[in-house]
Amino acid sequence: MTTTENQANPIGFGRMLRKEDARFLRGKGNYVDDLNLPGMLHGAVLRSPYAHARIKSIDISAAQAHPKVKAVITGEILETLNLAWIPSLSHDVVAVLATDKVRFQGQEVAFVVAEDRYSARDALELIEVDYEVLPPVVDAKKALDKDAPVIRDDIAGKVDNFIFDWESGDKAATDEVFANAAIVVNQDMLYPRVHPAPMETCGAVAYMDPIDQKLTIYSTTQAPHAHRTLYALVAGLPEHKLRVVSPDIGGGFGNKVGIYPGYVLAIVGSILTKRPVKWMEDRSENLMSTSFARDYHMKGSIAASADGKILGLRVDVLADHGAFNNTAQPTKFPAGFFHVFTGSYDLMAAHCSVRGVYTNKAPGGVAYACSFRVTEAVYLVERMVDRLAQELKMDPAELRMKNLLRPEQFPYTSPTGWEYDSGEYPRALRLAMDIAGYEELRKEQAQKRAKGELMGIGISFFTETVGAGPKRHMDILGLGMADGCEVRVHPTGKAVVRLSVQSQGQGHETTFAQIVSEVTGIPPEDIDVVHGDTDNTPFGLGTYGSRSTPVSGAAAAIAARRVVDKARIVASAMLECAPEDLEWEKGRFNIKGDKSVGKTMAEIALGAHGTVELPEGVEGHLNAECVYDPPNLTYPFGAYICVVDVDPATAKVSVRRFIAVDDCGPRINPMIVEGQVHGGLADGVGMALMEVIAFDEDGNNLGASFMDYLIPTSLECPSWETGATVTPSPHHPLGLKGVGESATVGSPPAVVNAVIDALAPYGVKHADMPLTPAQVWQAMQGAPYRT
Ligand code: CDP
């Protein structure tokens, strides 16, 4: 791994080893499955073997007779508690346990609670379910056929599999641009169904204390406060009788945003047995039943002038949402942020339409390491730009340079209404090309082609849109997307920072301490970060869509500034001078013009808790809080270049080099940012080359284990070459933009563009991900595209 930093800009507050690694590297993390409460029982879920079937009857008597079984729960029992269905994140409903029908393979049908995990699993086999198998809808394109079986006949009056129709942009203006353009290129493409596949699967331990009637749920959630409110609304329990604790989380990537039936079942199991109940899914359950990502069938068109000025873009999307519409996204945007699909280019007009359909597949459609469908949008535009370059016979880097937004155009309003906050796009692309030695690579490619060797160079330029809210535009089920932070400074000058966001491995315990340290001067080692416990942290919507730094990071900076403002008043009382006579030198206030007379933060903290008389109306202590409703999203961006070699005999793709220049504004901790980028690049290589959840025509899931659902290892990844430019966000208090998901968003099109570039001698224009040897081989044989 090599890193090139743009020395003109200070890029970070400082590299600092991660505080949390002291426990993670020693195997001392505390995950949900590490919890063992006294008297704890274990739950297991019986799942449907069919994609679509009517439930005629369920016989649980043999399971109930198992000596170690304490409870067997069916949908019928949940109906009596009004818990058979719960609200989805997208104003639909989700079955906790199937009552009438099963609608995807792996759907939850019954729940057994037993003395131990093995007995619970054994007893599942004693449950007899009589199914009447129904024809499944597997192909999204056939879901709207007139004779397609209706999946959601639980919805009154439903006669088809249609979910929503949504559009954005100016259709008439786009049509006009296309009618007058010198060149129009069309391309169908599929962003296949993939899975976030976190290392830790989903699980919960629920305990309803029978004495004080307080329900505690330890669960793998990225959004503990939102979960608590939803539990309160569904169960009718007051929030102070509900505590959600999210201990260490072994990766989320969007997979742990929603509430899964297993969490609810652990709760019901505890209420019925009056004992703590643990439910922890296995790998296959995670891959089969929890939120998938993508599954977007896209028809793109790009219009340009003969000399390569991009004029317009349009796309028609068919979105496969599975059996229940449970995608996690702001209410206002049924297709997430897909309409940011004009990407990083200066266009005249754009229009997109998205139709959502039900199919007999697992529900979800989460933002897997992306901000609400931005990944699909970036893939679409970056493939379309490369297709245009192909048709124009123009270098794809030159075409991008010609069309990238220029710095003076910011703040820039896109044709679909997004206001990009800041950017210096050409500088980032140039830096990536310099690190890559782009011109040399093209020469090398020409030489190899002459020898029949297949080398490809792929570029992608992406703009991300991260940090949801503002809450006037964005909510999930009516909860506005704002986040909180509380800073409390102890009398000795050490501090505790409480956050509403939830780390799943991103290193918040380190970076949020660094943010507060940067503002207050208290060393980061002296700042403890608390998160993941609704009883001990302020309310907020949690961590996904790289929103922690843009939202809670801003709240932390503002709360820390409030501490410093207060410290000035306390210091002035201690030094018997006016507050304006003091000047701030990181970590202390000095008398203006005399650095020898002053007070450090530690002294001021003691003063604030001591006997110093403060001016009237000023309360003691040095505590502050902030609820931050961001004025806009932040728009990190990046330029990626991928170099691949394709074996002409086996069609195997090897990623030889990958250059990633990211701009997320100043970096709190450049080491952590690089780690985030490395992980995201590996994600992208995986999606581009090997990951897919496929189904057979009966709706059987063909990707339900890591033998079938391939994820990349270090063997498939090159030594990443990273670089940085720094364009601060004008509205974030510290100029910070999010970065957690940038690389996952930006890298797949770079890999695909590189492979298609390598296959140019075969006249290949497009092939869908994953570009497995079989898929590449077919493309080389001129096989029709599979979308
Ligand atoms: O919401 P999430 O934590 O997944 O994403 P993020 O806000 O982009 O942050 C990911 C990690 O990178 C966190 O530890 C951040 O504090 C850190 N980061 C950073 O050091 N500098 C930035 N400009 C952005 C993020």
Does the pLDDT of residue 260 top 60, yes or no? yes
Does the pLDDT of residue 1 top 80, yes or no? no
Give distance in angstroms: CA of 267 to centre of ligand 1: 33
Lowest mean pLDDT among 144-153, 606-615, 626-635: 606-615
pLDDT band at 369; cut points 50, 70, 90: confident
Residue nearest to atom 3 of ligand 1 (CA): 548
Q: Among 497, 529, 543, 548, which is best to mutate for testing ligand 1, by the most ligand atoms less than 8 A from CB? A: 548
How much is the pLDDT for 14? Answer: 84
Cα dihedral across residues 37, 41, 42, 45: positive or negative:
negative
How much is the pLDDT for 3? Answer: 52
Give distance in angstroms: CA of 266 to centre of ligand 1: 32
**Domain ranges (residues) in the chain:** 32-134+201-249+256-289, 374-466+634-780, 482-628
Q: What ligand 1 atom has the least distance to the C-alpha of 666?
A: 23
Buried b (16+ CB within 10 A) or exposed e, 297-335: bbbbbbbbeeebbbbbbbbbbbbbbbbbbbbbbbeebbb
pLDDT band at 9; cut points 50, 70, 90: very low
How much is the pLDDT for 554? Answer: 96
Give distance in angstroms: CA of 211 to centre of ligand 1: 41
How much is the pLDDT for 236? Answer: 87
Domains 32-134+201-249+256-289 and 482-628 share a fold: no
Does the pLDDT of residue 785 top 70, yes or no? no
Strands 364-366 and 292-304: parallel
How much is the pLDDT for 264? Answer: 96
This prediction has a pTM of 0.96
Mean pLDDT of the region 479-498: 96
Buried b (16+ CB within 10 A) or exposed e, 391-403: ebebbbbebbebb
Lowest mean pLDDT among 17-31, 128-142, 250-264, 361-375: 361-375
Residue 126 half-sphere exposure toward CB, CA atoms < 13 A: 19
Does the pLDDT of residue 7 top 90, yes or no? no
Q: ipTM of the predicted structure?
A: 0.99
Residue nearest to atom 13 of ligand 1 (CA): 506
Give distance in angstroms: CA of 633 to centre of ligand 1: 14
Residue nearest to atom 17 of ligand 1 (CA): 673
Determine phi and psi for 636, rounding to 5 degrees: -65, 160
CATH topology of domain 32-134+201-249+256-289: Aldehyde Oxidoreductase; domain 3 (3.90.1170)
Give the pair of three-digit tokens for residue 542. 């949690």
Residue nearest to atom 10 of ligand 1 (CA): 740
Mean pLDDT of the region 510-514: 96
Give distance in angstroms: CA of 739 to centre of ligand 1: 6
Mean pLDDT of the region 89-115: 97
The H helix count followed by the E strand count for the chain is 18, 34
Ligand 1, CB within 6 Å, residue ranges: 506-508, 511, 543, 546-549, 664-665, 667-669, 672-673, 676, 736-740
Does the pLDDT of residue 370 top 90, yes or no? no
Residue nearest to atom 12 of ligand 1 (CA): 673
Alpha carbon of 186 to those of 72, 388, 396, 449: distances in Å?
54, 9, 17, 27
Cis peptide before 469 (omega within 30 of 0): yes
Give distance in angstroms: CA of 592 to centre of ligand 1: 36
CA–CA gap between residue 10 and residue 15 (Å, rounded): 12
Does the pLDDT of residue 371 top 90, yes or no? no
How much is the pLDDT for 11? Answer: 53
Residue nearest to atom 9 of ligand 1 (CA): 740
The fraction of the chain above a pLDDT of 70, given in percent, is 98
Mind listing the pLDDT tens digit for each residue in 740-782?
999 999 999 999 999 999 999 999 999 999 999 999 999 999 8
Mind listing the pLDDT tens digit for each residue in 710-733?
999 999 999 999 999 999 999 999
Residue nearest to atom 5 of ligand 1 (CA): 546
Does the pLDDT of residue 45 top 50, yes or no? yes
CA–CA gap between residue 202 and residue 33 (Å, rounded): 9
Give distance in angstroms: CA of 338 to centre of ligand 1: 22
pLDDT band at 367; cut points 50, 70, 90: confident
What number does CATH give the domain 482-628?
Answer: 3.30.365.10
Give distance in angstroms: CA of 442 to centre of ligand 1: 35
Residue nearest to atom 21 of ligand 1 (CA): 667
CATH topology of domain 374-466+634-780: Aldehyde Oxidoreductase; domain 4 (3.30.365)
CA–CA gap between residue 432 and residue 266 (Å, rounded): 49
Mind listing the pLDDT tens digit for each residue in 289-315?
999 999 999 999 999 999 999 999 999
Mind listing the pLDDT tens digit for each residue in 728-744?
999 999 999 999 999 99
Residue nearest to atom 2 of ligand 1 (CA): 546
Give distance in angstroms: CA of 413 to centre of ligand 1: 25
Give distance in angstroms: CA of 164 to centre of ligand 1: 33
Q: What ligand 1 atom has the least distance to the C-alpha of 738?
A: 8
Q: What ligand 1 atom has the least distance to the C-alpha of 739?
A: 8
Give distance in angstroms: CA of 741 to centre of ligand 1: 9
Q: What ligand 1 atom has the least distance to the C-alpha of 673?
A: 12
Mean pLDDT of the region 120-138: 98
Cis peptide before 631 (omega within 30 of 0): no
Strands 475-476 and 479-480: antiparallel
Compute the mean pLDDT over every residue in the chain, rounded to the nearest whole number. Answer: 95
pLDDT band at 235; cut points 50, 70, 90: confident
